[in-house]
Amino acid sequence: MLRYGREVSSLKRGAKAEAYKITKIAQSSLGGILLHDLHSKAISQYRNARLQCVEPSTVRIELSIIRRSLDVARREWGFDIPKNHAAMVTLPPPSKGRDRRLMPGELERLERELSHHPVALAVVRFAVHTAMRRGEILRIKWRDVNLAMRMVYLPQTKNGDPRTVPLPDGAVEVLEGLEATAEEAFPIDESALRWAWDRACLAANIRDLRFHDLRHEGVSRLFEMGLSAPEVALISGHKTIAMLMRYLHLRPIELARKLQGLKLPPSA
């Protein structure tokens, strides 16, 4: 597992997150089993134990890492492993997709608690307006910002393709309020942002809200503004409309207001 982390995972874009998972697996009871003693029952027991403390989606990722590491060991490293026991273990069903959006008053409370941390506050506001991923926001350089054209160029994204993001008014206002004292538009690292976020949610008494939920919030708000699915996808960076729809959670009350006064067209 550790060799896989050094030689394979380290080359991936999500190397840091995968390295953390590999360390956890290696430190578990499963990591102490010799390869020739490894069997599917031990991996199944690991799966069942992990399901007691983490989400099924996390367990699916961990089992996939184990399976891939054994495949590499068999095919490329010359390990005498007759079969990949991890491939025989049933993956837990995917977790139900999150549909958490900001409740009335939550954004205001978050902003109040983050008022002493202006950069973290700007990141949160920018995320709500653009539905960008946290990593994308933190990698924005001033040289890639064009306020006159109201666009930001992202040379590196999660799916590997660069994209140019048109900015809503709120996002432009956030950037205009920042001081260009560093190369990055948002000079804060991920750990500091996570600390500020967790502290603000706790102080504001906001439960079960993750930073990534702001992406759901942002996508839903863009639709509520009246943008089409292709237009929202251009901003959010989703490759397919199906993936985009997983982030859309319209509020019935907003749709009811939009429907007020509308009439069906006369039949032909």
Sheet-wide strand order for 145-146: 145-146, 151-154, 163-166
- The gap between the terminal CA atoms of the chain, to the nearest Å, is 66
Tell me how far apart the alpha carbons of residues 165 and 234 are, in angstroms, rounded to a whole number. 7
- Which of 134, 215, 216, 221 is catalytic? The answer is 215
Tell me the DSSP string of 174-241: HHHTS---SSBSS---HHHHHHHHHHHHHHTT--S--TTHHHHHHHHHHHHTT--HHHHHHHH--SSH
Q: State how far Cα 212 lies from the chain centre.
A: 5
Q: Would residue 46 show up in a list of annotated catalytic residues for this protein?
A: no
- Which of 133, 134, 216, 221 is catalytic? The answer is 133
Q: Would residue 50 show up in a list of annotated catalytic residues for this protein?
A: no
- Which of 74, 139, 199, 212 is catalytic? The answer is 212
Residues whose CB is less than 8 angstroms from the CB of residue 218 and which lie 6 or more positions away in sequence, other chains included:
127, 128, 129, 130, 131, 132, 236
- Which of 3, 36, 158, 258 is catalytic? The answer is 158
Which spans in 37-182 are helix H? Answer: 40-50, 56-75, 106-113, 118-130, 134-138, 169-176
Structure tokens given for 178 = 């920042």
Tell me how far apart the alpha carbons of residues 165 and 150 are, in angstroms, rounded to a whole number. 9
Q: Would residue 117 show up in a list of annotated catalytic residues for this protein?
A: no
Helix (H, G, I), strand (E, B) or coil at 144: helix
145, β-bridge pairs: 152
Ramachandran angles phi, psi of 263, nearest 5°: -125, 150
Q: Would residue 247 show up in a list of annotated catalytic residues for this protein?
A: yes
- Which of 4, 21, 129, 247 is catalytic? The answer is 247
Catalytic residue annotation: 133, 158, 212, 215, 238, 247
